[in-house]
Amino acid sequence: MAGVSPEAKPAAAAEDSATDIEAEYTLENAANCSSCNSPIQTLEVVRLLRTKVNFTSSLPRRGFVALCPVCRSIITATLGGLLG
């Protein structure tokens, strides 16, 4: 397929991925993504849902993952605040 870049996505797929975002957080200071090295000022958050496990698990059924808004790679982040 000449002339098609590997990053090209169909328009429908790009629209579907935008609807999967649960929340968007703005960083206090700009940072660089560790995967694509792009400067980012926001993080996208998506929900995780455990759908199958073959054993009794003590892990939570739901969780969240922060993504780079440019390359959609998982970013190490903590969502939460200090209590008190």
3-state secondary structure of 39: strand
Half-sphere exposure of 43 (CA within 13 A, CB side): 22
- pTM, rounded to two decimals: 0.61
Q: In the predicted model, is pLDDT for residue 25 greater than 60?
A: yes
d(C-alpha 74, C-alpha 84), whole Å? 30
**Which pLDDT does position 68 carry in this prediction?**
94
Q: What is the pLDDT of residues 52-78, one digit of tens each?
A: 777 887 777 788 889 999 999 998 887
